[in-house]
Amino acid sequence: MNVLTRYIAFEIIKGSLWALLLLITIFNLFTFSDELKDVGKGSYDLTLIFYYLALTTPRLCYDAMPASALLGSLFVLGAMANHRELIAMQAAGVSVFNIIKSVLLAGVFLVGMALVIGEWVAPDAEHEAQVVKITAQNEQITMANASGLWLRDGERFINVRQILDNGTLADISFYELDAQHRLQQAVHAERAEFIGDKQWRLFNVQRSVISTEQMQAGHDDEIIWHSSLAPDLLKIVVVKPNSLSLLNLERYISFLKKNQQKSHPFELAFWGRVVNPLVTFIMLLVSAPFVIGIKRGTSSGGRMLAGVVIGMGFNVLDKMVSHLGLVYELNPPLVAFLPSLTTLVLALWALKRV
């Protein structure tokens, strides 16, 4: 690696990290303003808002890396072009291809950083953020761990082992205590459906009534359970695609398919994570023709505006294709790669013209 290659790569990395810091700050300010309306719900206060923002920042860093690479490279290469550094490099024998290769070398570092954050830091932090927020706003939630979700409803303790995509609960156990905190009744239901007005319909119910003299067992095909617990309290254990790592997504997709459940949203999330590193490289490629093919007099503001337009255009295309793929259940790899490959073809065509 020669001096010029190291110089270009280092400047691209530095510019991209500054752009990443700027984007994270802007997005966190918007999130902060949204979270302020929830202050006062339960024990949710300003301290917990800042903690929540800190926990969601790793995921934001992972998601914003491609846009940061685009903005950083546009700014750095644009500054080099305006200061005639690129012309000097070409006069010294450095080809356009070698300049682009140096830019992509910076992308290797940025992609590696994003993968470490996205696979090992962001999933756990995002889950913890949701736990902190929901438990602070809803004091009924007692504990969430590997044994399922534990909730309290008066003197009744509830254990939920599974929540299906449609909000239906499965494998639910109820433990009711008396005034002396002794177990009075134990109930297990195969599943429960929310029917509105603080009511749940329980199916295939096994009951055990316990007293100091005897224990009675019973069975009901269907009963109505009145509770103040609403489905939105159970979001804490709903598996969200964005909160899972690539490995856990693959495992969860296999689990859903094995149990004949709908896995398409998680497959889209899986392939979206697979294509994310490619998007960063494509954004770096897009920046090159915008700098090399545009006159030196173009201001940095003009180039940054072009970068914002390109980034927003790609994001709109990606979201549009993703929603269409979700609605019509299109092939997940095709849905994930189509916007990126389309942008890649356009970038290579522009580079060929340059």
pLDDT tens string 252-303: 888 778 767 788 888 999 999 999 999 999 999 988 877 775 555 566 667 6
pLDDT for 235: 57
pLDDT at 41 over 90: no
pLDDT for 20: 96
Which residue has better confidence, 170 or 54? 54
pLDDT for 327: 86
Residue 1 tokens read as 């690696």
The pTM score is 0.79
Give residue 68's pLDDT band: very low, low, confident or very high (50, 70, 90): very high
pLDDT for 142: 53
Percent of the chain with pLDDT over 70: 89
For 126-144, what is each residue's pLDDT tens digit? 888 887 887 787 765 555 5
* Class of residue 291 by CB neighbours under 10 A (exposed 0-12, middle 13-18, buried 19+): buried
| Maximum separation of any 2 CA atoms in the chain, in Å | 98
pLDDT for 251: 83
Q: Is the dihedral of CA 268, 274, 278, 280 positive or negative?
A: positive
Cα distance between residue 268 and residue 246, in whole Å: 11
pLDDT for 165: 57
Mean pLDDT, residues 72-76 taken together:
89
pLDDT at 304 over 80: no
- Alpha-carbon distances, residue 238 vs 139, 164, 273 (angstroms): 18, 8, 20
Give residue 170's pLDDT band: very low, low, confident or very high (50, 70, 90): confident
Gyration radius from the chain CA atoms: 27
Half-sphere exposure of 155 (CA within 13 A, CB side): 11
